[in-house]
Amino acid sequence: MDNILSPSLLSIDFNNIEKNANVLDEAGVKWYHLDVMDGAFVPNISFGPPVIKAIRKITDAFFDVHLMINEPKRYIDAFKDAGADILTIHYEACEDLDETISLIRKAGLKVGLAINPETDTKVLKPYIDKVDMILIMSVHPGFGGQKFMPVAIEKLNKVKEWSEKINPDLLIEVDGGINFDNVSTVLDAGANVIVAGSACFNGNIAENVSRFFEVLG
Ligand code: DX5
Ligand code: ZN
């Protein structure tokens, strides 16, 4: 399976979003990571469906929508209409996780399941063959530009082991604090979808992206 780079648009210059999105596309980026925050599940507010809908008009990229919101099942149709391709929900944010997963599927979208750094990896095991992607958070969600938490490595190892046995097509995403120094380590640990916000958008975007592609292969 090819590794995927999913730049987090939380760190894009929103005054120049179209120009910068074009730079991503021309550099060969296929996924956009879109961080939705509700000020309740996480202590920050970002953007929602109207902004995603606007970005949808300027790119054909696959929209990897990371929902850091409580009870995301209330907004599945809104994100579908906005142009999401996969909705990743948090284990910690859903009262009825199975119902939420099946509602996302019924809407015709792919589904991802995320856990925070302090959540035990074992809660994911029953879902390895029920979702398209597992997201291991390597920072406390809420803000870009934080430091990578090494606890993510053992979590990725476990998910990779389960995926080999149960669901070899599973996408394994890691999000938070990924940079040129630690990206090889998370790939070795089992990640195949790499989110990077500040490391993509600080400095020259095209150069940063091509540096990531060199490591991702
Ligand atoms: C954090 C978000 C991340 C964030 C990553 O809550 O989920 O996607 O934007 O940013 P960096 O790569 O700067 O840690
Ligand atoms: Zn994210």
Q: What pLDDT was estimated at residue 169? A: 98
Structure token digits, residue 58: 């300027």
Residues in contact with 3: Cβ distance below 8 Å, sequence separation at least 6, in sequence order: 187, 191, 192, 193, 194, 216, 217
pLDDT in tens, 38-47: 999 999 999 9
Q: Measured in angstroms, how far is the CA atom of residue 135 from the centroid of ligand 1?
A: 12
Distance in Å from the first CA to the final CA of the chain = 11
Q: What value does the mean pLDDT take over residues 143-167?
A: 98
pLDDT in tens, 176-189: 999 999 999 999 99
pTM (2 decimals)? 0.98
Q: Which residues line ligand 1 (CB under 6 A)?
A: 8, 10-11, 33, 35, 66, 139, 141-146, 175-178, 195-199
Q: Which of 2, 25, 77, 175 is catalytic?
A: 175
Structure token digits, residue 22: 């074009």
Q: What pLDDT was estimated at residue 181? A: 98
Matching residue, tokens 């990578």: 148
Is there a catalytic annotation at residue 175? yes
